[in-house]
Structure 1
Amino acid sequence: MDFWNAVGELSGWPLVFLFIALLVAFAFEFINGFHDTANAVTTVIYTHTLSATPAVLYSGAMNFLGALVTVLAGGAAVAFSIVNLLPVDLLIKANSNAALVMVLALLFAGVMWNLGTWYLGLPVSSSHTLIGSILGVGVANSLWKGEGFNGVNWAKAGEVGAGLLLSPLCGFVAAAVLLLLMRRTLKEPKLYEPPHDGDRPPRWVRVVLICTCGGVSFAHGSNDGQKGMGLLLLVLIGFMPVHYALNVNEPEKAPALLNAVNEVRAAYAKHNVPLPDALDRNLRYVAGHLDGLGSLDELRKREEQDKDGRPQNVRWEVRQALFQTNHEIKRAVAGVGVPAEFRTELEQVRKMRIAPAIEFVPVWVVVGTALALGIGTCVGYKRIVITVAEKIGKTHLTYGQGAAAESVAAATILAASFIKLPVSTTQVLSSGIAGTMAANGSGVQGSTCRKILLAWALTLPACMLLAGLLFVFGRLLVG
């Protein structure tokens, strides 16, 4: 309901652009489904474990469940690592035209690059595509305003970049090591030889390969599904910032937040830790606006009644104060020389009370993203499947290679979701297959690997440039 209430306040071109942006955001996740998840079904198709149709339907269902279950059960930390790449203040401080152009430019850049690389059969990273597009519009906007390169949260970009760079190396090494261990313990020669026409793997191998395919698909949904949710949140914040400032799913959080503010102060006082001035100001601001409220929705009334020169978008200002409070508590918890009990108390308040008020995903976004990802998995997968299975190694994929590569990929991606980092399913699994080819002595096709590595290297800068150029074109067009 809150979405339709917010939409009711838009009219004309902003309303049209909102629905275009939502359509393109869902299209990005749909393309992500058949672009990235093709990797998951490659092994079961090429080892004759499953035929193509049941394989992609199974993978699509597991993608849907991964995106849905992970967020509803464990939160959307990966989604907010995407949102926080672009300081959302920019979407508010910019004039409305600039905010709309930023969102549309990053969306179209991501879709254009993903479709282009899919057409060429190159298994590049949708994560790199999305992150490059976000960085591109952030930098372009700050350069447009003469503010240098301040339009990006570079600390968060470095954290995300480290995960994307290290995960393929982990995939290559871990898959190679796992295959070597398998050769030592599982002596059945058939596991390490390319299957002949009509061959089917032993029953227990089929079970393993089906489970690893499901595991990779579920892991992909859990990680990449959240990236799509982050993309949709950028759209909603860009077009309707006030309505998506605070948790619309649980508007009754006002009393709990006020208690959390008091608990933070009490923890600092109890353990004789100096309260930073910035944190003190933010706590006072939040307490002053939440005092006496039974619901976060009641902040809207204060916006309408505020005639004393204070900001009219009080909900957004409260959100920003809570965001900074959340950040300050993280710094305090990570600091040295503070009592362990103090850290525990602060972290519990932050995770249970403060963060959920500002880091939330509406249920319709969760379900819509999961559906787009799952349905997308079921179409358009063949180009990437052929590249991964036939053109990385010099020989046909073996049963053992498929099981090792997918086991490592599923474990790596689920671990990344657990530690709240976005990683690339494409890179992890492609690297894993290359690692098993090297460990098995099968060799790799140098020309294909060079093309894939070049595409991986170019994706981030190319998407930054493409998104930046689209932003500049859009600004020139709309003023």
Structure 2
Amino acid sequence: MEPLLIGFLVIIFLALAFDFINGFHDTANAIATSVATKVLTPAQAIAMAAVLNVVGALAGTAVAKTIATSIVPQEFATLQLTGAALLSAIVWNLFTWWKGLPSSSSHALIFSLVGAGVAAGGWGIIIPKGVQKTVTGLFTSPVLGFIVPILLMALLSWLVLRHMRPRTVTGTFRWLQIGSAAFMAFSHGGNDAQKAMGIMTFALSAYLGTQVEQVPLWIILSAAAAMGLGTAVGGWRIIKTMGFKVVDLKPVDGFVAEASAAAIITGATALGIPVSTTHTISTSIMGVGTTKGFRKVKWQVAGRIVQAWVFTIPVCIVLGWVFHKALLLLG
């Protein structure tokens, strides 16, 4: 087997490993609130999230095309560059998983790709428009994630909740939250699995030595399967942080947080914007918490989450750069 093919297969393995890790790292995004409110058992929530992650991953490729063509031009694609980006993102994901911090797998991969690209050809080869799209999503999605649930909760309170008994509210929204959790799982698969599809397509371009604009079916199917399998394994450290440490949740709160976050993520996916499901659902949970009063939100825990977001960009750029230089030295 020729060395170039071996290298390509190693990259595909790393990409699927990243996708798998993304699945169990971000399982909390889809199921933490439904587990915290006891609407679903952990086993039920994970099974539902795994299936709908796969379904969501098969729904489109707009985000994958952004990763594959709009961060680093494909004419600069090499297996070393792709491998460095993946190794950097995997290391950061595992570190934040170990610490129980819900950082962004999406931005870990994208800014690792930026760092590796800079190491390969300098800042001049980075496509500003693609990075700008990512940065826009980075800042816009958590802001919307905080604001939309507050508005939705106010609307529900005015139209529905004030006319219902507390027991009726709980019973009704226990069922509705199952639907919102399913929507969240679908949106998570739709946006996050496409990151792996994009980097695999980028690697395919490096292997073939030509531009690849359409994501091949085998890449779509393999990325969807890896995401679903990772979700089935689950990330219990982050589930604990997201579902139990930020704010105490009731079914109506979980419904509002999940429905708001999923709608934002689905909209971004349709526009080809790679956003962080972690950023969006965590700020949605905080937004719901503020409707109960600012003291109801455990802001110290929220601060630790924000720290992980802030560090992801510079750390992953540096890691991507270091891994690329190391791979070049190894030959």
1:64 to 46, 49, 54: 54
Asked whether the equivalents of residues 179 and 440 of structure 1 are also in contact (C-alpha less than 8 Å), the reply is no
Q: How does 1:316-335 map to 2 (within 5 A)?
A: none
Asked whether the equivalents of residues 192 and 401 of structure 1 are also in contact (C-alpha less than 8 Å), the reply is no
SS in structure 2 of the partner of residue 150 of structure 1? helix
SS in structure 1 of the partner of residue 274 of structure 2? coil
Q: How does 1:23-102 map to 2 (within 5 A)?
A: 23-68=13-58, 70-71=59-60, 76-83=61-68, 84-91=70-77, 99-102=78-81
Match of 1:438?
A: 290
Asked whether the equivalents of residues 72 and 117 of structure 2 are also in contact (C-alpha less than 8 Å), the reply is yes
Match of 1:217?
A: 185
2:166 to 156, 174, 190: 190
Asked whether the equivalents of residues 192 and 399 of structure 1 are also in contact (C-alpha less than 8 Å), the reply is no
User: By how many angstroms is 1:446 displaced?
Assistant: 2.5
Match of 1:155?
A: 129
Match of 1:369?
A: 223
Amino acid at match of 2:188: H
Q: Does 1:16 align with 2:2?
A: no
Match of 1:473?
A: 326
User: By how many angstroms is 1:165 displaced?
Assistant: 1.1
SS in structure 2 of the partner of residue 27 of structure 1? helix
1:428 to 262, 280, 283: 280
Q: How does 1:134-149 map to 2 (within 5 A)?
A: 134-143=113-122, 149=123
Amino acid at match of 2:229: I
Asked whether the equivalents of residues 123 and 388 of structure 1 are also in contact (C-alpha less than 8 Å), the reply is yes
User: By how many angstroms is 1:140 displaced?
Assistant: 1.2
2:249 to 397, 401, 411: 397
Q: Larger helix proportion, structure 1 or 2?
A: 2
Asked whether the equivalents of residues 73 and 126 of structure 2 are also in contact (C-alpha less than 8 Å), the reply is yes
Asked whether the equivalents of residues 229 and 365 of structure 1 are also in contact (C-alpha less than 8 Å), the reply is yes
SS in structure 2 of the partner of residue 378 of structure 1? helix
Q: Take 1:47 and 1:155, find their aligned partners in 2: how far apart are those partners?
A: 41
Q: How does 1:73-472 map to 2 (within 5 A)?
A: 76-83=61-68, 84-91=70-77, 99-143=78-122, 149-184=123-158, 185-187=160-162, 188=164, 190=166, 201-202=170-171, 204-242=172-210, 245=211, 359-393=213-247, 396-441=248-293, 443-472=296-325
Q: Take 1:443 and 1:141, find their aligned partners in 2: how far apart are those partners?
A: 48
Asked whether the equivalents of residues 29 and 376 of structure 1 are also in contact (C-alpha less than 8 Å), the reply is yes
Amino acid at match of 1:78: V
Asked whether the equivalents of residues 106 and 134 of structure 1 are also in contact (C-alpha less than 8 Å), the reply is yes
- Once superposed, what is the RMSD of the aligned Cα atoms? 1.7
User: By how many angstroms is 1:179 displaced?
Assistant: 1.6
User: By how many angstroms is 1:15 displaced?
Assistant: 2.8
Amino acid at match of 1:225: A
**1:140-185: CA deviations, max 9, x gaps?**
1124xxxxx1121112111221012101000100011212222233
* Corresponding residue pairs, total: 327
Amino acid at match of 1:437: G
Q: Take 2:265 and 2:128, find their aligned partners in 1: how far apart are those partners?
A: 23
User: By how many angstroms is 1:381 displaced?
Assistant: 2.0
SS in structure 1 of the partner of residue 193 of structure 2? helix
Unpaired runs of 5+ in structure 2? none
Q: Take 2:198 and 2:284, find their aligned partners in 1: how far apart are those partners?
A: 27
**1:168-211: CA deviations, max 9, x gaps?**
00010001121222223313463799xxxxxxx41x32221111
Q: Take 1:82 and 1:15, find their aligned partners in 2: how far apart are those partners?
A: 22
Q: Take 2:12 and 2:166, find their aligned partners in 1: how far apart are those partners?
A: 49
Amino acid at match of 2:262: A
Q: Take 2:216 and 2:326, find their aligned partners in 1: how far apart are those partners?
A: 32
Amino acid at match of 2:100: G
Q: Take 2:200 and 2:37, find their aligned partners in 1: how far apart are those partners?
A: 37
Amino-acid identity (%): 35
SS in structure 2 of the partner of residue 50 of structure 1? coil
SS in structure 1 of the partner of residue 316 of structure 2? helix
Unpaired runs of 5+ in structure 1? 1-9, 92-98, 144-148, 194-200, 246-357
Q: Take 1:412 and 1:453, find their aligned partners in 2: how far apart are those partners?
A: 19
User: By how many angstroms is 1:410 displaced?
Assistant: 1.1
Asked whether the equivalents of residues 106 and 133 of structure 1 are also in contact (C-alpha less than 8 Å), the reply is yes
Amino acid at match of 1:109: S
Amino acid at match of 2:319: L
Amino acid at match of 1:152: I
Q: Structure 1 residues 152, 211: closer, same or farther in 2, change over 3 A?
A: same
Q: Take 1:219 and 1:136, find their aligned partners in 2: how far apart are those partners?
A: 28
**1:106-151: CA deviations, max 9, x gaps?**
11001110111011111111111011111001111124xxxxx112
SS in structure 1 of the partner of residue 124 of structure 2? coil
